[in-house]
Amino acid sequence: MWMMRQSTRRVLDFSARCASTTIVPAPTSLPRFKLRTGDTIPSIGMGTFTGTRLTQQAQPGDMYENVKRWIRLGGRMIDCAQNYLNEDEIGDAIADCISEGIVTREDLFISTKLNNPYHRREHVRPALEKSLLDLRVDYVDLFLMHWPTAFKYVPYDATKRGFPVDYEPDQCSKVTGVLWKDYDGSWPPPHLDMSVTIHETWDAIVDCHKQGLARNIGVCNFQLALLHELMCGSEFVPHVVQNESHPYLQQWDQLEFCQKNNIQFMAYSPLGYGTFAGADRPRVLTNPIIKKIADKHGKSTAQVCLQWCVQRGVNTMPFSLIEIELRENLSVGTWELDDDDMVSIKSLDNSFHYLNPKEWYGLPLWN
């Protein structure tokens, strides 16, 4: 997810951020976690969320340059999503790094996510194949159901890479004729498809795994009750569950449940939610307790949050456009938080969500 560290370095223009990066191997000190398939996933990846069609904050070319920089620095996990509308840039960067001999496809762990308008069984595989086309790969290492929410189908050209500027899948407004913020009718709002269950969608995702298009599969934004329901209706347990988690939302019950069921818990927004958080929201990276721990170890507050994630057995994928911050992200595993640090951070948990889907499309999923 998009993350701004509120550092003075952020005022640099993008040309300054694109200086040539020396190629270094993947750090051997960076922990990896083993999935049930036997695959291993890096504990630290790179997020690629810079906004959706309605909230985009990146410029064309930003993600291409940033993915190349990440790989040249030794980063090997890239967390993508069709809804981020940048998989074609990411795919070009991956293909160029492979052709330049920096990495092989097998060195990388690439994930993507099923977008809400494609939850019907017959739409799931074509949507994944569109991501494969954009990413310029034959398979993904992880395919996730992005949200447990089916939207009305939004047409797209499956033969072309990328999406045109009039493609709007966030609220399906080009199909329904109305944005959620302007809708004042009865329930359900027109963009929700109430005839599709999570079981129908999950079964189709399982098929993609069996067909070799996704080595591992999972879900995002599932609360425990919904995850339990999914598992009751399928003999195939997710390999990964990806949910928001940071020191203000530590998700201990979810983590324990996942560990008992041999599911890898993956945290998004591990540093808070940056630019998208809103001026009135608390900031993880300026919390005085985290700042005190960072000063004690000679680290940044971001490094403390990431090390805390990994020491809990949680992998994560912060986003940054700053090379020094990308390097810091890859330093996880070279140092440790002590028991007192972990206890202090645990005291910060207040179940605070930065993301509120009720504001986007009317569903208070966290209640």
List, for residues 147-182, the tens digit of each pLDDT value: 999 999 999 999 999 999 999 999 999 999 998 889
Share of the chain above pLDDT 70, in %: 93
Indicate the residue type of 80: C
Average pLDDT on 340-356 reads 96
Question: How many Å apart are CA 13 and CA 301, to the nearest integer?
Answer: 23
Task: Let me know: does 320 contact 3? Beta carbons within 8 Å.
Answer: yes
Q: Hey, is 244 helix, strand or coil? A: strand
In this predicted structure, the answer to whether residue 292 has a pLDDT above a threshold of 80 is yes
Question: How many Å apart are CA 56 and CA 168, to the nearest integer?
Answer: 12
Cis-peptide, bond into residue 188, ω within 30° of zero: yes
Q: Tell me, rounded to whole angstroms, the distance of Cα 82 from its chain centroid.
A: 11
Task: Let me know: does 255 contact 314? Beta carbons within 8 Å.
Answer: yes
- Of 363 and 29, the structure prediction assigns the larger pLDDT to 29
pTM, two decimal places:
0.94
Q: What's the pLDDT band for 281 if we cut at 50, 70, 90?
A: confident
156 catalytic residue (yes or no)? no
The contacts of residue 51 (CB under 8 Å, 6+ apart) are: 2, 57, 58, 84, 276
Q: Tell me, rounded to whole angstroms, the distance of Cα 204 from its chain centroid.
A: 21
- CA-based nearest residue to 308, from 253, 273, 348: 348
Task: Let me know: does 269 contact 238? Beta carbons within 8 Å.
Answer: no
Q: Hey, is 105 helix, strand or coil? A: helix
In this predicted structure, the answer to whether residue 4 has a pLDDT above a threshold of 70 is no
In this predicted structure, the answer to whether residue 6 has a pLDDT above a threshold of 60 is no
Question: How many Å apart are CA 70 and CA 89, to the nearest integer?
Answer: 14
Average pLDDT on 21-49 reads 95
pLDDT digits (tens, 9 = 90+) for 101-130: 999 999 999 999 999 999 999 999 999 999
- The per-residue pLDDT for 55 is 79
- Average pLDDT taken over every residue of the chain: 92
Q: What's the pLDDT band for 271 if we cut at 50, 70, 90?
A: very high
- CA-based nearest residue to 121, from 39, 203, 192, 64: 203
Phi first, then psi, for residue 157 (nearest 5°) are -90, 105
Q: What's the pLDDT band for 351 if we cut at 50, 70, 90?
A: very high
pLDDT digits (tens, 9 = 90+) for 75-109: 999 999 999 999 999 999 999 999 999 999 999 99
Task: Let me know: does 306 contact 44? Beta carbons within 8 Å.
Answer: yes
Which residue among 64, 84, 118, 273 is the active-site one?
84
Average pLDDT on 332-348 reads 97
